[in-house]
């Protein structure tokens, strides 16, 4: 029986990687890093906008940093003025679904509704449809590639995720700085799913510290699209 047990375990591991592996392209086209030459990297934020996203924008402005924000449609409807500020200050806006569900076991139609509704809302607010998509929890599923193709979206995973919703700022920064390389994509959060008035104090502190410590590496933080198109 042991060979069958080993084969089953291998199959389960392969399925898990296909769904959540950051380098997986099984279900939809995606990237998890950019070109490894030069000194450009991309700082990204998920789940916003929130009541405190404006504070984060102030931090980014102080460090002359451009970032990519993967926005939930429901939050965008609550804070359209913040979405417009993100765009007007030169940051990039990506699609993070309407209501932040895990997409596993969702039908193609359900994924189309989540993503398409957000495309419509963000296009209405900024005048430009997003070209990038990040799946909530990094979960991809059969049919997602079809939906991304319909809306002209490229999936974006991450090289480093800070776990800023549960770790203190110092540990978040340590995770982001471990093994830094050009082309890295960093994932933080300016919201907490659809939570109202989320506490993102850790994210704000970690972003300041990370940018301060990374300045000595001569990294230029740009939007994901700018990094990919360099």
Residue indicated by tokens 């300041």: 208
Euclidean distance between CA atoms 140 and 214, whole angstroms: 31
C-alpha of 94 from chain center: 8
Write the CA distances from 103 to 20, 142, 146, 156, 189, integer angstroms. Answer: 11, 9, 14, 15, 19
Is the dihedral angle over the CA atoms 213, 218, 219, 222 positive or is it negative? positive
Residue burial 154-179, b: 16+ Cβ < 10 Å; e: rest: bbbbbbbbbbbbeeebeebbebbbee
Of 33, 96, 160, 189, catalytic: 189
DSSP assignment letter at 14: H
The question of whether 46 is a catalytic residue gets the answer yes
Euclidean distance between CA atoms 49 and 77, whole angstroms: 9
To the nearest 10°, report the CA torsion of 230, 213, 82, 88: -40
The question of whether 47 is a catalytic residue gets the answer no
Of 33, 46, 160, 190, catalytic: 46
Q: Are 155 and 135 in contact (CB under 8 A)?
A: yes
DSSP assignment letter at 3: H
The set of residues, in sequence order, having a beta carbon less than 8 Å from that of 145 and lying 6+ positions away, is 27, 28, 29
Catalytic residues: 46, 189
């Amino acid at each position: 029986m042991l060979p069958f047990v080993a084969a089953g375990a291998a199959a389960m591991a392969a399925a898990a990687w296909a769904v959540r592996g950051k380098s997986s392209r099984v279900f939809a086209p995606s990237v998890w890093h950019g070109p490894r030459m030069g000194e450009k990297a991309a700082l990204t934020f998920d789940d916003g906008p929130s009541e405190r996203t404006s504070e984060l924008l102030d931090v980014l402005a102080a460090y002359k940093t451009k970032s990519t924000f993967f926005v939930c449609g429901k939050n965008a409807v609550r804070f359209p003025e913040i979405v417009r500020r993100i765009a007007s200050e030169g940051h990039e806006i990506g699609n993070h679904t309407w209501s932040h569900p895990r997409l596993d076991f969702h039908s193609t139609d359900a994924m189309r509704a989540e993503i398409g509704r957000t495309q419509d809302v963000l296009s209405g607010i900024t005048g430009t449809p997003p070209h990038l998509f990040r799946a909530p929890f990094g979960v991809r599923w059969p049919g997602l590639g079809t939906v991304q193709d319909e809306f002209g979206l490229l999936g974006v995973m991450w090289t480093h995720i800070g776990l800023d919703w549960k770790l203190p700022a110092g540990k978040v920064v340590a995770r982001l700085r471990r093994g830094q390389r050009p082309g890295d994509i960093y994932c933080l959060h300016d919201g907490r799913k659809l939570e109202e008035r989320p506490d993102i104090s850790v994210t704000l502190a970690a972003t300041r510290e990370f940018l301060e410590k990374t300045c000595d590496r001569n990294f230029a933080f740009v939007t994901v699209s700018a990094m990919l198109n360099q």
